[in-house]
Structure 1
Amino acid sequence: MTGRLRAPTGRYGGKTAAERQADRRRRFLDAALRLFGGTPGYRATTVAALSESAGLSTRQFYEEFRTLEDLLAALHLQVNDWAEEAVLAAVAAAEGLPLTERVTAIFRAYAANVTSDPRRIRITFVEIVGVSPTLEEQRLARRARWIDLICAEATAAAERGEAAPRDYSLAATAFIGSVNGLLHDWTAGWVSATLEEVVDELVRQLLGILRPAEWSPGAPGEG
Structure 2
Amino acid sequence: MAGRLRAPTGRYGGRTAEERKTERRERFLDAGLRMFGEAPGYHGTTVARLSETAGLSTRQFYEEFHSLEDVLAALHLRINDRAEEAALSGLAATEGRPVAERVTAAFRAYAADVTADPRRMRVTFVEIVGVSPRLERQRLTRRARWVAFIRAEADAAVQRGEAAPRDYRVAAAAFIGSVNGLLYDWNAGWVEAGLDEVVEELVGLLLGILRPAGWCPDEH
Question: Taking structure 2 as the reference length, what is the TM-score of the superposition?
Answer: 0.94
| CA deviations over 1:45-89 (Å, ceiling 9, x no partner) | 011110011111110000000000011001100111110111111
| Structure 1 unmatched runs, 5+ | 1-8
Structure 2 equivalent of residue 88 of structure 1: 88
Corresponding residue pairs, total? 212
Report the Cα distance in structure 2 between the residues aligned to 1:69 and 1:93, rounded to whole angstroms.
36
CA distance in 2, matches of 1:162, 1:156: 9
What residue ranges of structure 2 are gaps of 5+ in the alignment? 1-8
Counterpart check, 1:144 vs 2:123: no
Is residue 103 from structure 1 mapped to residue 100 from structure 2 by the alignment? Answer: no
Residue pairs, 1:113-152, within 5 angstroms: 113-152=113-152
Provide the rounded CA distance (Å) in 2 between the counterparts of 1:34 and 1:97. Answer: 39
What's the Cα RMSD here? Answer: 1.0
Letter in 2 for 1:110: Y
| Displacement of 1:27 | 0.6
Amino acid corresponding to residue 199 of structure 2 in structure 1: V
Taking the aligned partners of 1:216 and 1:121, their CA distance within structure 2 comes to 38
Report the CA distance between 1:31 and its aligned residue: 0.5
After TM superposition, what 4+ stretches of structure 1 lie above 2 angstroms from structure 2? none
CA distance in 2, matches of 1:214, 1:30: 50
| One-letter identity of the residue aligned with 1:185 | D
Equivalences for residues 12-23 of structure 1 within 5 A? 12-23=12-23
Scaled by the length of structure 1, the TM-score of the pair is 0.93
Per the alignment, residue 3 of structure 2 pairs with none
Shift of 1:195: 0.4
Structure 1 position 91, deviation (Å) = 1.2
Look up the match of 1:53: 53
The equivalences for 1:197-216 within 5 A come to 197-216=197-216
Which stretch of the first structure deviates more once superposed, 159-168 or 9-18?
9-18
The SS at the match of 2:174 is helix
Give the corresponding residue for 2:41: 41
Distance (Å, rounded) in 1 between the aligned partners of 2:218 and 2:179: 29
The share of aligned pairs that are identical, in percent, is 72
Distance in 2 separating the partners of 1:90 and 1:104: 8
- Counterpart CA distance in 1 for 2:32 and 2:206 is 34
Secondary structure at the counterpart of residue 15 of structure 2: coil
Give 1:28 deviation, angstroms. 0.5
What is the Cα deviation at residue 90 of structure 1? 1.1
How far residue 214 of structure 1 moved from its aligned partner, in angstroms, is: 2.2
Structure 2 Cα separation of the partners of residues 82 and 25 of structure 1: 18
